Amino acid sequence: MSTFPSPQVLLTDLLQRPSVTPNDAGCQQRIAELLQPLGFVIEHLPRGSVSNLWAQKGEAAPLFVFAGHTDVVPTGPLEQWDSPPFEATIRQGKLYGRGAADMKASIAAFICACHEFLGDFPEHQGAIALLITSDEEGPATDGTAYVCEQLQERGLTLDYCIVGEPSSNQVFGDTIKNGRRGSLSGHLRVLGKQGHVAYPQLASNPIHLLSPALQQLCDRMWDAGNVDFPPTSMQISNIHAGTGAGNVIPGYLDLELNFRFSTEHTPATLQAEVEGILHQHKVPFELRWTLGAEPFLTPEGALSEALKAAIQAETGVQAELSTTGGTSDGRFIAKICPQLIEFGPLNASIHQINEHVDLADLEKLKNIYRRTLENLLC
């Protein structure tokens, strides 16, 4: 019988697979090969070009789920990397490669934690499952969202879920994400009239029309947040107008904006406030809204307490709950799981050139996941 890989060996294997969204590059097949001998029933649930894996061992309650993604963001300029991003290079105790922190380290730690736990506690309570997708860094429509729909149709109840997102901030183990703000995007088109810059009376400049309203939008404090969420924020991510010629007043302006919103607002209230400001300044506009995610929150409970205790025992760090940061696939799982939190390695290098994970943290991460299983299923 072959030896089960260590977290470092497994992570190295996964990093060497160029699984840029939505390509899984064989990661989930390798995961299935390791889980099946442990007693997991493997289901591959592809949709379109996306690979999804649901692996479950046992059917008793409570059902504990590890969730994550094998896909990674593009590498960016290869010449800026100190070592090839898909070669998994070790330097000064750190393992470098695209996806090391976000989030193949957590997946390697999940699997090795399950192996150790099942070896030590074959008669444990409840059931264990893994939900893995290759669509988290992309549109996120054919991945976790799709699998959750399938599980819901089966009437399957998820009791606990840890998403392996890189949650640690300053020190490994310092932050557990127990919720996320919502995400609301808007595409605004301001309608003007094209003309010659020397004859502004014959044209209508959309840049000038928008400027007072844009200043008010940027200066506005949308809310102060609350005990669970930081304040709602708005950012302009793209703005474009003009033909490229210096003597032409543009006929329209396109602008992209995004809200990360707390539970002090709803998508409807934010839309109404933005459109109200535009109307107030008599801006002629078209505005298309896209809701990326509703905010979700897991109150303190058995899962967060079990994970906190595991982190404290393994690292001596007292973890804090937080809802900061961007969106994650947790927004889909939270609809079918009452206790969902996110925990993983340091997030300082994610999506960056020379992304990496500390090998000492990788071993601790595996132990924390194993201890959490022990705290809840033994």
| Contacts of residue 215, Cβ cutoff 8 Å, sequence gap at least 6 | none
342 is catalytic: no
Residue 161 CA to residue 156 CA, distance in Å, equals 13
Helix runs in 49-165, H state only: 105-120, 144-153
E strand map for the chain? 41-44, 52-57, 63-69, 89-91, 94-96, 127-133, 160-163, 175-177, 179-180, 182-191, 195-196, 233-241, 248-249, 252-261, 285-293, 296-297, 320-322, 339-342, 356-358
Strands 160-163 and 339-342: parallel
Q: 13, 33, 59, 71: which is the annotated catalytic residue? A: 71
275 is catalytic: no
Residue 137 annotated as part of some ligand binding site: yes
Q: 135, 136, 314, 329: which is the annotated catalytic residue? A: 136
Residue 308 CA to residue 322 CA, distance in Å, equals 13
Residue 347 CA to residue 125 CA, distance in Å, equals 33
Q: Is 48 left (phi over 0), alpha (psi -120 to 50) or beta?
A: left
Residue 26 CA to residue 16 CA, distance in Å, equals 10
**Which residue, 266, 263, 264, 287, is CA-closest to 275?**
287
Residue 322 near residue 176 (C-beta atoms within 8 A): yes
Residue 69 annotated as part of some ligand binding site: yes
Residue 281 annotated as part of some ligand binding site: no
Query: Which residues define the annotated binding site?
Result: 69, 102, 137, 165, 351
Q: Could you tell me which residues are annotated as the binding site for Zn(2+)? A: 69, 102, 137, 165, 351
Question: What residues are labeled active site?
Answer: 71, 136
